[in-house]
Amino acid sequence: MSAEDQWRLLQLVEETIRACVHRRQPPVDPCDPVFAEPQPMFITVRVRGELRGCIGRLDPTRNSAVTAIETAAAALRDGRFADRRVTVDELANLTVELMLLGPRQRIDGPGDIEIGRHGVVLELDDRTAVFLPQVAVEQGWNAVDLLGNLCTKKLKLPAESWLLPSAKLWVMEGQKLAT
C-alpha cells in the first residue's frame, strides 16, 4: 500500500470514529480497489493523550477498508473503557493512531526482540496477548519485562508463563500513522 493510500486509510479510520461517536454510519465505499487486500492493523484512540481504546486485527479476512471500519468502531467499545466512552464534546481533543502491521515472525525468546522496532504476540493455549512496538519504549521495559507484562497485564498469568512449552512468541514490525 502506498504512503498516500496509508494516509487515506487513516482518514477513513478517523471519519469512522467521528461518525460512530455521532451515531451515524461511516461515509465510505469499502469496495475501493486500493484497499482490496487484507491488512493486519491496530487502532488506538486517545483523548488529550489518555488512552480510550485500542483494538486490532492480527489475521483479517476482509479487505483493509472493511477491517479499518470494523476495528475503529470496536476501539470505541474497548471494554477497558466502558465507563469512559469518547463523547462528541471530546472530539476536538481526539488523536487516532493506525498501526499497519507487517508479517509475524516466530521467535525463541527475548533475545530476538528489538525494543522500539518489534511488537510482540504471545499465544498461550487458546489465548493471545499483544503489545505494539511502541509500548515497551513508552513503559521503559526491556525484552524480558515486555514478555512478563504480556503475561501479567494481558493474560493475568504469572510473569514467567511465556517460558511454558505451550507458549508461542512472534514479533512483527509496524508502520504508525496518527492524526
- Any idea where the domains of the chain sit in the sequence? 3-101, 105-174
CATH 3.30.700.20 fits 3-101, yes or no: yes
Instruction: Among 21-30, 87-96, 165-174, name the one with the lowest average pLDDT.
Output: 21-30
pLDDT for 23 beyond 90: yes
Q: Which residues contact 50 (CB under 8 A, 6 or more apart)?
A: none
Check residue 34 and give its pLDDT: 80
Higher pLDDT, 33 or 127: 127
If you ran DSSP here, which 8-state letter would residue 171 be given? E
Statement: the pTM of the whole predicted model exceeds 0.85: yes
28: left (phi over 0), alpha (psi -120 to 50) or beta: beta
Q: Quick: pLDDT tens for 118-151.
A: 999 999 999 999 999 999 999 999 999 999 999 9
Residue 27 has a pLDDT of: 66
105-174, what's its fold?
Answer: Dna Ligase; domain 1 (3.30.1490)
Binned at pLDDT 50, 70 and 90, residue 105 comes out as: very high
